[in-house]
């Protein structure tokens, strides 16, 4: 750090904060204090977690309570019809474990599920179909997490969600916007249309929405446990909805081929996290089949070789974008379900490989399109794993900004970072008749055509981007962060870490700052208003260029574990409506 460049960086940070972040700052949900903490994108969900913490539940109990409530208030992002990834820190044992409860392809699934004659089918028709539905993993995940590391039963943790589903909640503008975006898809499925629309149009904001069917489903789980979902009447209803989608008269969509055995055989997986270090922090994230942990580790390893603190902000941000571009070139080419593909993870996350990738960066000029590197040379034993016969084409899938993320900690210091989803907004669009939840379209996270490690296969889990992350410093939790947003999840988590650690922003500012998502596509994704900013102008001088269609990126939630033993929960002040950050005992 040189004495005269740091103030320059700070000055530009302040100007940019005033220009872009300040208006929302006042509204950013931030809560500091002691005891447990929670940050979610929904007030009822955060309240559900807090109620469970106040009843003596731990972070795992509270996370499931919040997730179940999000299934009610945010049914287009997540729910029991989907799957997810949970990172759990067990304070007493000082140990992190991850729970993969990603959806799997049914046993009948074929590699050409979304292609005909080697040509990929249209994405929207692939989404709104029974074929897109993977075997849901959420309930199995909740059960396994509670069973092994929770202290409460389904009955206790689902009670707050049942109450919200029964009593109803007021839908906000964001909810209405999501229905509007999905009017065509929802109209295909009368059960879904009837719940969220009137006469083919979204219900108005302020409508109190109840979901007695979902309350019934949660009650079934409360009394019958995990089996009530994966066998019996509910399982049959899921299979029927996939194999004969309940469509409106005259409509036809592709059906799937899911069996009762697919549901009965569904297993979640406990996996070792991806670990990496960054400027004195230890980062612990989600391993494959999520690409999140590996891609973030590679990008940070690349960035670590630059003295970012000594640079003007725009130069540091240019390097952040270039590191993300290189890491995405590898992510897009190599990563997939580890039970099917021997991906070169050790090479990708090695510091030596990052040093080689770093040499490709021009600190003054954007690269625009990066090729995947050769991480095989950096495996401990370079002959393992086998190299693919032909290099996969590095493609960017049609993934956009769906999903939800929540963070919970408890008074004993346990932490849960949990991202879960039904894939697209409104998933496949298919509501299971009489049960009140929407089925996922997670199978469209496969690459539709190959050769590629992430092509569809029976029993395989499609590659994900979900990135629940916990950072440690000196062996103690420092912060936890995660976000929705398809492939932009990776860059949102990466950029927030970069903002916090490298640009020195407090977590609320780090999270609030305009998001810039470079994923080695045609152009960098940005948020509305950014293209006209001074920050954008400064980056354009490095040759960076922006996607013309700006969209809100992500909806992050974080908790900071302060050195004085207090905790600070942080949510979004403007994205996805507004989030909710709470602590058990508020301090100053």
Alpha-carbon gap, residue 343 to 274, rounded angstroms: 13
Smallest gap from Cβ 554 to ligand GLU, in A, equals 9
Smallest gap from Cβ 408 to ligand GLU, in A, equals 20
Written as six digits, the tokens of 94 are 């000082």
Smallest gap from Cβ 42 to ligand GLU, in A, equals 16
Stretch that binds ligand GLU, among 184-192, 277-285, 396-404, 410-418 (CB under 6 A): 396-404
Is residue 86 within 8 A of residue 99, CB to CB? The reply is yes
CB of 36 or CB of 554, closer to ligand GLU = 554
3-state secondary structure 514-545: CCEECCCCCCEEECCCHHHCHHHHHHHCCCCC
Site residues for ligand GLU, 168-207, by CB under 6 A, read: none
CB of 414 or CB of 419, closer to ligand GLU = 419
Is residue 550 within 8 A of residue 2, CB to CB? The reply is no
**Per CB under 6 A, does 399 bind ligand GLU?**
yes
DSSP E strand stretches across 240-387 = 269-271, 274-278, 281-285
Smallest gap from Cβ 466 to ligand GLU, in A, equals 5
- Which is nearest to 50 in space by CA: 29, 39, 283, 41? 39
Binding mask 446-465 for ligand GLU (x = CB under 6 A): ------------------xx
Grouping H, G, I as helix, E, B as strand and the rest as coil, residue 114 is: coil
Ramachandran bin of 426, using left for φ above 0, alpha for ψ from -120 to 50, beta for the remaining angles: left
Q: Which helix (H) or strand (E) holds 164?
A: helix 154-167
CB of 454 or CB of 568, closer to ligand GLU = 454
Smallest gap from Cβ 468 to ligand GLU, in A, equals 11
Phi, psi (degrees; rounded to nearest 5) at 417 = -115, 120
Smallest gap from Cβ 95 to ligand GLU, in A, equals 25
Site residues for ligand GLU, 332-361, by CB under 6 A, read: none
Stretch that binds ligand GLU, among 36-44, 148-156, 374-382, 399-407 (CB under 6 A): 399-407
What number of residues does the chain have? 588
My answer on whether omega of the bond before 289 falls inside 30° of 0, hence cis, is yes
Q: Which helix (H) or strand (E) holds 113?
A: none
Is residue 29 within 8 A of residue 38, CB to CB? The reply is no
Exactly one of 317, 322, 445, 457 binds ligand GLU (CB under 6 A); that residue is: 445
CB of 132 or CB of 509, closer to ligand GLU = 132
CB of 84 or CB of 246, closer to ligand GLU = 84
User: Would you list the DSSP string of 50-66?
Assistant: HHHHHTT--HHHHHHHH
Helix, strand, coil % in the chain, rounded to nearest 5: 40, 20, 45
Exactly one of 46, 403, 431, 454 binds ligand GLU (CB under 6 A); that residue is: 403
- Tokens 């750090």 correspond to what residue? 1
- Tokens 């989803």 correspond to what residue? 421
**Parallel, antiparallel, or unpaired for β 274-278 and 476-482?**
unpaired
Written as six digits, the tokens of 181 are 């975006």
CB of 488 or CB of 584, closer to ligand GLU = 488
Angle at Cα 333 formed by Cα 114 and Cα 516, nearest 5°? Answer: 95
Binding mask 470-489 for ligand GLU (x = CB under 6 A): --------------xxx---
Grouping H, G, I as helix, E, B as strand and the rest as coil, residue 254 is: coil
CB of 29 or CB of 486, closer to ligand GLU = 486
Alpha-carbon gap, residue 512 to 244, rounded angstroms: 44
**Parallel, antiparallel, or unpaired for β 95-101 and 525-526?**
unpaired
User: How many chain residues touch ligand GLU (CB under 6 A)?
Assistant: 14
Smallest gap from Cβ 83 to ligand GLU, in A, equals 8
Is residue 22 within 8 A of residue 115, CB to CB? The reply is no
Smallest gap from Cβ 260 to ligand GLU, in A, equals 25
CB of 468 or CB of 485, closer to ligand GLU = 485
Binding mask 367-386 for ligand GLU (x = CB under 6 A): --------------------
CB of 420 or CB of 561, closer to ligand GLU = 420
Smallest gap from Cβ 518 to ligand GLU, in A, equals 17
Give the chain's end-to-end CA distance (angstroms, integer): 33
Is residue 448 within 8 A of residue 466, CB to CB? The reply is no
CB of 21 or CB of 467, closer to ligand GLU = 467
CB of 13 or CB of 419, closer to ligand GLU = 419
Site residues for ligand GLU, 408-437, by CB under 6 A, read: 421, 423
Alpha-carbon gap, residue 210 to 543, rounded angstroms: 50
Smallest gap from Cβ 422 to ligand GLU, in A, equals 8
Is residue 297 within 8 A of residue 271, CB to CB? The reply is no
Smallest gap from Cβ 24 to ligand GLU, in A, equals 22
Supply the residues annotated as catalytic.
Answer: 403
Grouping H, G, I as helix, E, B as strand and the rest as coil, residue 187 is: helix
- Residues that bind ligand GLU in the complex, under the rule CB under 6 A: 399-400, 402-403, 421, 423, 442, 445, 464-466, 484-486
């Amino acid at each position: 750090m040189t004495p005269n460049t740091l103030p320059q960086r700070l000055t530009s940070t302040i100007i940019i904060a005033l220009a872009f972040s300040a208006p929302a700052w006042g509204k950013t949900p931030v809560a500091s204090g002691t005891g447990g903490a929670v940050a979610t994108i929904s007030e009822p969900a955060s309240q559900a977690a807090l109620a469970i913490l106040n009843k003596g539940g731990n972070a795992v109990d509270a996370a499931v309570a919040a997730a179940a409530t999000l299934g009610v208030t945010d049914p287009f992002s997540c729910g029991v019809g989907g799957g997810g990834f949970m990172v759990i820190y067990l304070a007493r044992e000082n140990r992190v474990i991850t729970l993969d409860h990603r959806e799997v392809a049914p046993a009948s699934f074929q590699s050409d599920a979304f292609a005909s004659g080697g040509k990929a089918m249209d994405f929207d028709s692939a989404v709104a179909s029974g074929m897109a539905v993977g075997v849901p993993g959420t309930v199995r995940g909740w059960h396994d997490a509670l069973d092994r590391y929770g202290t409460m039963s389904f009955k206790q943790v689902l009670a707050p969600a049942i109450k919200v589903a029964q009593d109803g909640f007021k839908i906000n503008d964001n909810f209405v916007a999501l229905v509007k975006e999905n009017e065509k898809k929802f109209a295909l499925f009368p059960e879904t249309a009837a719940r969220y629309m009137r006469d083919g149009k979204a219900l108005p904001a302020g409508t109190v929405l109840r979901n007695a069917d979902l309350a019934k489903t949660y009650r079934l789980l409360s009394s019958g446990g995990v089996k009530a979902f994966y066998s019996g009447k509910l399982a049959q209803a899921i299979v029927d909805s996939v194999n004969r989608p309940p469509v409106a008269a005259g409509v036809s969509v592709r059906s799937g081929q899911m069996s009762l055995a697919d549901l009965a055989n569904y297993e979640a997986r406990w996996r070792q996290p991806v670990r990496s270090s960054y400027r004195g922090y230890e980062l612990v994230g989600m391993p494959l089949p999520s690409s999140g942990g590996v891609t973030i580790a590679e990008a940070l390893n690349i960035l670590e070789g630059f003295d970012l603190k000594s640079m003007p902000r725009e130069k540091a941000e240019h390097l952040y974008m270039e590191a993300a571009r290189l890491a995405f070139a590898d992510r897009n080419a190599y990563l997939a379900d580890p039970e099917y593909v021997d991906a070169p993870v050790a090479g990708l996350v090695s510091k030596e490989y990052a040093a080689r990738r770093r040499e490709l960066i021009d600190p003054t000029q954007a690269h625009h399109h990066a090729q995947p590197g050769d991480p095989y040379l950096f495996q401990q034993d370079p002959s393992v794993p086998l190299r693919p016969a032909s290099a996969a084409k590095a493609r960017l899938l049609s993934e956009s900004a769906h999903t939800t993320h929540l963070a919970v900690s408890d008074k004993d210091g346990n932490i849960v970072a949990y991202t879960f989803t039904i894939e697209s907004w409104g998933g496949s669009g298919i509501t299971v008749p009489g049960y009140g939840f929407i089925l996922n379209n997670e199978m469209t996270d496969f690459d539709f055509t190959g050769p590629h490690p992430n092509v569809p296969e029976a029993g395989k889990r499609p590659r994900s981007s979900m990135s629940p992350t916990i950072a440690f410093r000196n062996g103690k939790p420092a912060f936890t962060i995660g976000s929705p947003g398809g492939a932009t999840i990776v860059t949102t988590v990466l950029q927030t870490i970069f903002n916090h650690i490298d640009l020195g922003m407090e977590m609320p500012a780090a999270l609030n700052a305009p998001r810039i998502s470079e994923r080695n596509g045609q152009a960098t994704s940005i948020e509305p208003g950014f293209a006209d900013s001074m920050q954008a102008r400064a980056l354009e001088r490095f040759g960076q260029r922006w996607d013309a269609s700006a969209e809100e990126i992500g909806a992050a939630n974080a908790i900071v574990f302060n050195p004085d033993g207090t905790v600070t929960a942080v949510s979004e002040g403007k994205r996805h409506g507004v989030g909710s950050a709470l602590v058990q005992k508020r301090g100053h």
